[in-house]
């Protein structure tokens, strides 16, 4: 029988290739495109950072170094561009010696004017010769709390004024230790049946993975030393049994001798006894989300949170915090933990914008506002 040679059509042969092989090439092209795009982005970011760190402006390099150093996760970036000696020189400017401690005699609780809830203000309960009525704010809902928006050249944030300082207390989780976990600000507020709260002291946070179970420094809760040492020296912030805010550097025993009811470790102190602590020289700090607490001479408590790491609000410096606290009449004030921990909750709602990409972080301490 005669056989016929049939020439294979190359187009049909190509079409007959396995679909999996064609799909594999497509996926490979997608991953290659993504990889090249990411590489280009990394090159652009590295180039931009190189210009900022090594460019002609030493002030930009300094602010960027300080800002990144204040983070838990990306503090190492300046080491990619600057020698360690230069970084150490910049960070050495952050060391602030503050030996003065609050003089509680300057706080006369109830001496200021009190908002009546209808937009007017009553006369001061006491008159020590210095009118405080300029700080009276309308408490339209009568809950003793006023929240105002604040802003500056590089930031926006919120100031909460609590007229009655006896409503403030230091919030803590149920336990501390290696296996313990802190509470988010929502959980802190719920635990104490509070109406508002902010984050307070720092906590062990290696590379941004901390769980809030190990506080930095000292913690005094309900008049008892629950974390830290009697003999070691700390930069503290907290309230005594008379509801007066005390800030400054002291030992744990010093704090107990001052009858501190609740206290945590953080700083720097911003204002002590009416004197701004950057009066002689600016505080060395970067631009970041911030939280701070202060008290007026009439006892009203000032809770401040600043948004950061946003296009509309890169953040604030320590000096910015001083300016805002002075504007609101603070006699004593301290910086608190900031960054992705900076949060303010009021009536179950988040007041500011949380900088954490994973949402509210577990905290070691907080300042909460109890109901009237």
**DSSP secondary structure of 268-295:** -EEEETTEETTSSS------B-EEEEEE
Same domain, 73 and 143: no
3-state helix, strand, coil in the chain (%, to 5): 30, 25, 45
Which is it for strands 290-296 and 330-336: parallel, antiparallel or unpaired?
antiparallel
Same domain? 195 vs 49: no
CA distance 49 to 365: 35
Between residues 34 and 2, which one has the greater pLDDT?
A: 34
Q: Which of 307, 219, 310, 316 is nearest to 261 (CA)?
A: 219
Task: Tell me: pLDDT of 237 over 70.
Answer: yes
Domain that holds residue 348: 104-369
Q: Which residue has the higher pLDDT, 126 or 246?
A: 246
Mean pLDDT, range 340-346, rounded to an integer: 97
Q: Which residues contact 57 (CB under 8 A, 6 or more apart)?
A: none
Cβ(73)–Cβ(207) below 8 Å: yes
289 and 176 in a common domain: yes
- 37 and 134 assigned to the same domain: no
pTM greater than 0.75 (yes/no): yes
Q: Say how far apart CA 196 and CA 164 lie, in whole Å.
A: 13
Based on the fold, state whether residues 60 and 121 are members of the same structural domain. Answer: no
Last residue of a domain, one of 59, 94, 129: 94
- How far apart, in whole angstroms, are the C-alpha atoms of residue 208 and residue 165? 33
Mean pLDDT on 4-12: 53
- Give the residue from 192, 211, 159 showing the smallest Cα distance to 344: 159
Residue 4 lies in a domain: no
Q: What is the largest CA-CA distance in the chain?
A: 127
- Shared domain check, 131 and 44: no
Q: Tell me, what's the pLDDT at 122?
A: 36
Determine the pLDDT at residue 89. 85
> Is the pLDDT reported for residue 325 higher than 50?
yes
In a domain, 161, yes or no: yes
- Do 19 and 162 sit in the same domain of this protein? no
Verify that 50 and 170 share a domain, yes or no.
no
Co-location of 144 and 163 in the same domain: yes
Structural domain contains residue 99: no
Domain contains 143 = yes
Q: What is the pLDDT of residues 278-314, one digit of tens each?
A: 888 778 899 999 999 999 999 999 999 999 999 999 9
Q: Higher pLDDT residue, 123 or 182?
A: 182
Do residue 119 and residue 208 come from a single domain? yes
Number of domains into which the chain is organized = 2
- Greater confidence, 86 or 2? 86
- Looking at the structure, tell me whether residues 132 and 235 fall in a common domain: yes
Residue 158 confidence class, pLDDT cut points 50, 70, 90: very high
**256 vs 63, higher pLDDT:** 256
Q: Is residue 5 part of a domain?
A: no
Where does a domain end: 49, 70, 94? 94
- Final residue before a domain boundary, out of 59, 75, 94: 94
Residues 183 and 289 in one domain: yes
In a domain, 10, yes or no: no
Per-residue DSSP letter, 329: T
């Amino acid at each position: 029988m005669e056989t016929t040679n049939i020439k294979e059509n190359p187009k049909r042969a190509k079409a007959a290739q396995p679909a999996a092989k064609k799909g594999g090439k497509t996926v490979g092209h997608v991953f290659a495109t993504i990889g090249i795009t990411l590489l280009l982005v990394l090159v652009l970011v590295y180039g931009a950072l190189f210009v900022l760190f090594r460019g002609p402006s030493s002030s930009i390099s300094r602010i960027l170094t300080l800002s990144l150093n204040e983070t838990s996760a990306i503090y190492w970036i300046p080491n990619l561009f600057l020698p360690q000696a230069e970084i150490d020189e910049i960070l050495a400017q952050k060391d602030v010696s503050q030996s003065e401690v609050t003089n509680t005699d300057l706080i006369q609780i109830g001496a200021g004017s009190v908002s009546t809830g209808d937009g007017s203000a009553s006369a001061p309960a006491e008159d020590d010769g210095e009118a405080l009525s300029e700080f009276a704010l309308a408490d339209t809902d009568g809950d003793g709390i006023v929240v105002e928006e604040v802003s500056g050249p590089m930031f926006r944030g919120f100031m909460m004024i609590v007229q009655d300082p006896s409503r403030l207390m230091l919030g803590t989780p149920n336990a501390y230790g290696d296996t313990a976990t802190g509470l988010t600000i929502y959980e802190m507020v719920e635990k104490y049946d509070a109406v508002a709260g902010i984050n307070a002291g720092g906590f062990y946070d290696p590379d941004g993975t901390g769980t809030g179970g190990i506080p930095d420094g000292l913690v005094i809760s309900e008049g008892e030393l629950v974390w830290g040492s009697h003999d070691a020296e700390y930069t503290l912030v907290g309230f005594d049994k008379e509801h007066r805010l005390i800030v400054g550097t002291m030992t744990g025993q010093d704090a107990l001798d001052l009858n501190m009811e609740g206290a945590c470790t953080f700083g720097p102190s911003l204002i002590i006894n009416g004197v701004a602590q950057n009066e002689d020289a600016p505080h060395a700090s970067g631009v970041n989300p911030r939280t701070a607490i202060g008290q007026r001479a009439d006892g009203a408590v000032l809770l401040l949170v600043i948004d950061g790491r946003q296009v509309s609000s890169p953040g604030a410096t320590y000096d910015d915090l001083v300016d805002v606290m002075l504007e609101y009449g603070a006699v004593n004030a301290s910086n608190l933990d900031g960054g992705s921990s900076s949060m303010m909750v009021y009536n179950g709602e988040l007041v500011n914008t949380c900088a954490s990409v994973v949402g509210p972080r577990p905290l070691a301490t907080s300042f909460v506002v109890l109901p009237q």
